Chain A
Amino acid sequence: MAHFFFETMAGHVILMVLETLAVLVPLLLAVAYLTLMERKVMASMQMRRGPNVNGLFGVLQAFADAIKMITKETIIPSGANKFLFLFAPFLTFSLAMVAWAVIPTGNGLAVANINVGILYLLAISSLGVYGILIAGWASNSKYAFLGGLRSAAQMVSYEVSIGLVIVSVLLAVGSLNLNDIILAQQHVWFCVPMFPMFIVFFISALAETNRAPFDLPEGESELVAGFFVEYSSLSFGLFFLGEYANMILMSGMVSILFLGGWLPPLGIAPLTWIPGPLWLIAKILFCLFVFIWVRATFPRYRYDQLMRLGWKVFLPFSLLWMIGTAGFLLATGLLPQGMS
């Protein structure tokens, strides 16, 4: 059996497919229940009950929504570029899925444990803007177009600060491998010595996923629904799934970079009994809760304020912090040399 899976070509392919499914199936289920979690958490914060009709405590609500969405009619606007119009949601969805290939759920336990894991994540997340931009353009609608343009400017702006935050973490790690990043946090999670960067990264993650209070690309009150105004049925559903999968991915990145990934908080007995993947899931859930909490709490930013925050506050601050980190590590001789 082991011979078949590890030695033969067909075995390799089957193993690869199984590994992929082992990540994607739980991910899609998580997305489904994240929508329910969002509605339930927001409902409790606003003293409502939230969905409670379908199944016990509304646990089947996500599936009811999915079935409703699938059975609706796909409408393509007459002036739309048909291929790009249908390609955009597909792109958004598949990018949100492929990024999960490098997320380690245990020591070295990832579909692809590659050397440049963090760069891969950065590359995939920088591609995410295309789905939105293409959707906005191909819809041939003013609202969608404005939403797409806003989103492009927003995501490019906040990627800069995300990149600089990642650089200061990498300085302390000395490797681009996600597994090494987590192992470097064995003694102390990076959210302790780099607390300001943790906050900057989290807020940038909110902006990067177009979540409230940075949901200007959608901007219901001004742009109706922004870039996906013309989408319906399954094509809308793919955007929806992609957005929530991106939220989980960003939470995963926060967990890996600052909250120690699959490491338990302390390396002592009762905590180490809990397997690594559960720790990662717990941390991701915590981040997601904060995502929802923020949405229920803050009003939307105005566009110029959003740009100001990104370029005039986060960029100089994270640049300064990066230089400070490099200087500190060099001065104290803590700069990691060996791992590379």
Chain B
Amino acid sequence: MTQIVFYVFAAVLLLSATMVISARNPVHSVLFLILAFFNAAGLFLIAGAEFLSMLLVIVYVGAVAVLFLFVVMMLDIDFTKMREGLQRYAPFGAAVGAVLFAELVMAFLHWHQAPVRVMPITGGLGQPGGPHTNTAALGNIIYTHYLLPFQACGLVLLVAMIGAITLTLRERPTGRRQLIDRQHARRREDTLEMLTLPLGNSVVDNGGFRRPDTYYGTAVPGSWGVPEGEGGKVVKAVPAEGDHA
């Protein structure tokens, strides 16, 4: 019974993996990739690694593949252009593929298997005194026996994340950022000034439009919201044609 289930999962996994690279539409590719992840999770489940299986679904299917799909869906793909590219780049692709294939064949022909060395880890799964779920066993191995390499992995990922953010973050001069604490601290007196205007005068005659001080604080330097003295552009109402009729 388990064997049949294994073969079903394995077959669907291989099939969807093939579809990932052969599907015409990239969105379909990503969806097949998700199906492949799913079947891999099923294989883990059959092997009794329930924690890894759930983690595979949560991390890869639930987060990584969503971002893939997110990006791929927004791509504007021109199929005719892609076909042109195919003819141009096909020889290079074939060459790289041939080299890789030759190397793989060579590697397989000269495969020296090292003698299996079982690392005795105290408190492993199923051992007396050890944890009896694979979640606890995994936690024991990662956080007790391999703490330092695990933390180092985390650090590498953190550096990569910060790098990606610094590479893609750009400040636009027209940005208006919302500062919620400043908004909440704002009072009526700060923003509203009651004036008694003489009859027949326009706003411009009384000094033009004024913006509240709290507004300037949130604007990016150099944008329209900043007063002239502080490196911003002038905010002054220009009377429309025929306004003084």
A residues at B contact (CB < 8 Å): 84, 114-116, 119-120, 122-123, 126-127, 129-130, 133-134, 137, 145, 148-149, 152-153, 156, 159, 163, 176, 304-305, 308, 340
Contacts and interface: CB of A to CB of B under 8 A. Distances in A.
Contact of A126 (B63, B136, B180): B63
Chain A's interface: helix, strand, loop or mixed, by majority? helix
Interface residues of B, number: 25
Contacts of A159: 62-63
A122 B58 contact: yes
A176 B51 CA distance: 10
B133 A115 contact: yes
Contacts of A305: 178, 180
Contact of B62 (A127, A137, A148, A149): A127
Contact of B69 (A119, A133, A176, A340): A133
14 contacts: A115-B135, A119-B55, A123-B57, A123-B61, A127-B61, A129-B62, A137-B27, A152-B70, A156-B63, A156-B66, A308-B178, A340-B132, A340-B133, A340-B136
Count chain B CB atoms within 10 A of each CB in A114, A123, A127, A129 and give the residue with the most: A123
B131 interface: yes
B70 A153 contact: yes
B2 to A, nearest CB: 14
Nearest to B59: A126
Nearest to B130: A340
Nearest to B62: A126
A278 B153 CA distance: 47
Nearest to A87: B31
Given A114-B50, A133-B66, A156-B66, A126 B57 contact: yes
Given A116-B51, A129-B62, A304 B178 contact: yes
Contacts of A126: 57-58, 61-63
A123 B62 contact: yes
A308 B183 CA distance: 15
Interface string B176-201: 00101000000000000000000000
B19 interface: no
A308 B131 CA distance: 40
B57 A127 contact: yes
Contact of B135 (A116, A120, A133, A134): A116
Given A133-B66, A133-B69, 9 more contacts: A114-B50, A116-B50, A119-B58, A120-B54, A122-B58, A126-B62, A145-B73, A149-B74, A156-B67
Chain B's interface: helix, strand, loop or mixed, by majority? helix
A119 B51 contact: yes
B50 A123 contact: no
Interface of B: 27, 31, 34, 50-51, 54-55, 57-58, 61-63, 66-67, 69-70, 73-74, 131-133, 135-136, 178, 180
A305 B178 CA distance: 9
Nearest to B131: A340
A159 B67 CA distance: 14
A213 to B, nearest CB: 15
Contacts of B131: 340
B61 A152 contact: no
A251 B158 CA distance: 34
Contact of A123 (B27, B54, B67, B73): B54
A241 B186 CA distance: 44
Nearest to B67: A156
A223 to B, nearest CB: 16
A122 B136 CA distance: 18
B62 A176 contact: no
Given A119-B54, A340-B135, A133 B73 contact: yes
A137 B58 contact: no
A163 to B, nearest CB: 8
B139 to A, nearest CB: 9
A115 B138 CA distance: 14
A149 B135 contact: no
A129 B65 CA distance: 11
6 A-B pairs closest in CB distance: A126-B62, A119-B54, A340-B136, A123-B57, A123-B58, A340-B131
A313 to B, nearest CB: 10
Nearest to A124: B57
B135 A176 contact: yes
A152 B69 contact: yes
Contacts of B136: 340
Given A137-B27, A340-B132, A152 B66 contact: yes
